[in-house]
């Protein structure tokens, strides 16, 4: 079945540091890939997405490129802020047909220190 693997947290960085959160996936079809973010006490919200190979999703300074050859969708940001502290989830939606929701990774807790 489909699965998403992302790096374990917590990841602790200083403000203005470069961020990479790794994500790899296994899917039978040609999935769309997503990053969701969960701020403390809130539900998840979509951060960015890419629907086909080599697409780059971007939002709020975050970027991720859909790499089919390495089955990866790593999240990056050049200079993180304290307000980026949250849990980040990588997810996929398989194109096998039918709307069956998203398969999520376990989440990576990011802590940004001033």
Residues forming the site for other proteins (CB under 8 A):
32, 34, 41-46, 49, 51, 89, 91, 93, 95, 97-107
Nearest-approach distance from CB 91 to other proteins, in angstroms: 8
Nearest-approach distance from CB 34 to other proteins, in angstroms: 5
Q: Return the number of the residue (106 or 113) whose C-beta is nearest other proteins.
A: 106
Q: Return the number of the residue (49 or 74) whose C-beta is nearest other proteins.
A: 49
Q: Return the number of the residue (49 or 80) whose C-beta is nearest other proteins.
A: 49
How far, in Å, are 15, 24, 41, 98 from residue 68 at the CA level? 31, 10, 34, 22
Q: Return the number of the residue (80 or 92) whose C-beta is nearest other proteins.
A: 92
Nearest-approach distance from CB 35 to other proteins, in angstroms: 11
C-alpha angle 3-63-52 in degrees, rounded to nearest 5: 55
Nearest-approach distance from CB 49 to other proteins, in angstroms: 5
């Amino acid at each position: 079945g489909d699965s998403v693997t992302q790096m374990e947290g917590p990841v602790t960085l200083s403000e203005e540091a470069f961020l990479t959160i790794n994500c790899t996936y296994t899917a039978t079809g040609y999935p769309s890939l997503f990053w969701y973010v969960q701020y403390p006490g809130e539900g998840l919200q979509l951060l960015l997405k890419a629907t086909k190979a080599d697409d780059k999703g971007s939002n709020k300074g975050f970027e991720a490129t859909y790499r089919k050859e390495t089955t990866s969708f790593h999240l990056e940001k050049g200079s993180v802020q304290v307000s980026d502290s949250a849990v980040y989830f990588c997810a996929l939606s398989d194109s096998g047909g039918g709307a069956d929701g998203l398969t999520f990774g376990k989440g990576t807790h990011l802590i940004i220190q001033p």
